[in-house]
């Protein structure tokens, strides 16, 4: 579905590129986590996919079509929920459809469906300040879904949540992914989170980076929390921790 083809990019004012001749691909329906040290370029990948930055060299394509020729191919969910405080949950969720000028009757039907799946039906008329952090993130994810894209870019969406809320949200996210059959790219600094959620983990080891290590997670879906205590997963976690520690020392 998504392909980076020999992509190079340098931020204005930087001495050298942050990525150079980078190539990778993500298939339809994949759940990919991207990990690496702070400032290594994880969010730059998202900015390039969204078209907020342009490659110096190379191309980014969806099904072999350059993204410059496409519309509404990806939706972005940031770390902060960015809900409009003056709108209800229902109004926040419906906003992408209003902007797309989807008929009101269809907006209502889609909104009710996604709120039901998010467990938010009883909160449709609540205001954001009346919700917990986890519920606000569910609203934000519901709004991201209703933007209509097949590919979701989630940038550390659970990093500000407490531990119990975070693990509940991880389990909930996997249910939504399996239900809606979206492709998800997920940025995180949490190795255990990456392992629990992902089919494949992309690891950025250095800057500039020309490739990412692609590590398949040896766990079937649906995932169980106790799977993280199995020996292969413990070894994988330690391998990833050690890799990131070495890069941080550099």
Percent of the chain with pLDDT over 70: 98
Cα–Cα distance, 5 to 20 (Å, whole number):
11
Whether 17 and 10 have beta carbons less than 8 Å apart is answered as: yes
Predicted pLDDT of residue 200: 96
Given pLDDT bands bounded at 50, 70 and 90, which one contains residue 242?
confident
Predicted pLDDT of residue 246: 65
The mean pLDDT of the chain is: 90
Q: How confident is the model over 132-179, as pLDDT tens digits?
A: 988 998 899 899 988 888 999 999 989 888 889 889 899 999 999 998
CATH code of the region 2-73+152-249: 3.40.50.300
Q: Over 80: is that where the pLDDT of 31 sits? A: yes
Question: What pTM did the predictor assign?
Answer: 0.90
Given pLDDT bands bounded at 50, 70 and 90, which one contains residue 215?
very high
Domain ranges of the chain: 2-73+152-249, 82-148
Predicted pLDDT of residue 249: 41
């Amino acid at each position: 579905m998504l392909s980076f083809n020999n992509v190079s990019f340098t931020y204005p004012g930087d001495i050298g590129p942050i990525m150079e001749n980078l190539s990778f691909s993500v298939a339809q329906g994949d759940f990919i986590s991207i990990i690496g040290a702070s400032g290594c370029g994880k969010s730059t990948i998202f900015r390039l996919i969204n078209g907020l930055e342009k490659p110096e060299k190379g191309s980014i394509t969806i099904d072999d079509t350059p993204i410059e020729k496409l519309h509404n191919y990806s939706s972005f969910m940031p770390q902060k929920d960015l809900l409009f405080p003056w709108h209800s949950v229902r109004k926040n969720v419906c906003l992408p459809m209003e902007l797309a000028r989807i008929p009101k009757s269809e907006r209502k039907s889609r909104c009710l469906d996604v709120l039901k799946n998010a467990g938010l039906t009883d909160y449709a008329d609540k205001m954001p300040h009346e919700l917990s952090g986890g519920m606000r993130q569910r609203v934000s994810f519901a709004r991201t879904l209703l933007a209509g894209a097949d590919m979701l870019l989630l940038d550390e969406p659970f990093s500000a949540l407490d531990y119990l809320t975070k693990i509940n949200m991880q389990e909930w996210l996997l249910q939504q992914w399996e239900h809606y059959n979206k492709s998800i790219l997920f940025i995180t600094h949490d190795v255990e989170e990456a392992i629990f959620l992902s089919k494949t983990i992309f690891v950025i080891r250095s800057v500039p980076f020309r490739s990412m290590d692609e590590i398949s997670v040896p766990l079937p879906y649906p995932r169980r929390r106790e799977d993280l205590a199995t020996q292969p997963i413990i070894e994988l976690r330690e391998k990833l921790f050690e890799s990131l520690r070495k890069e941080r020392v550099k």
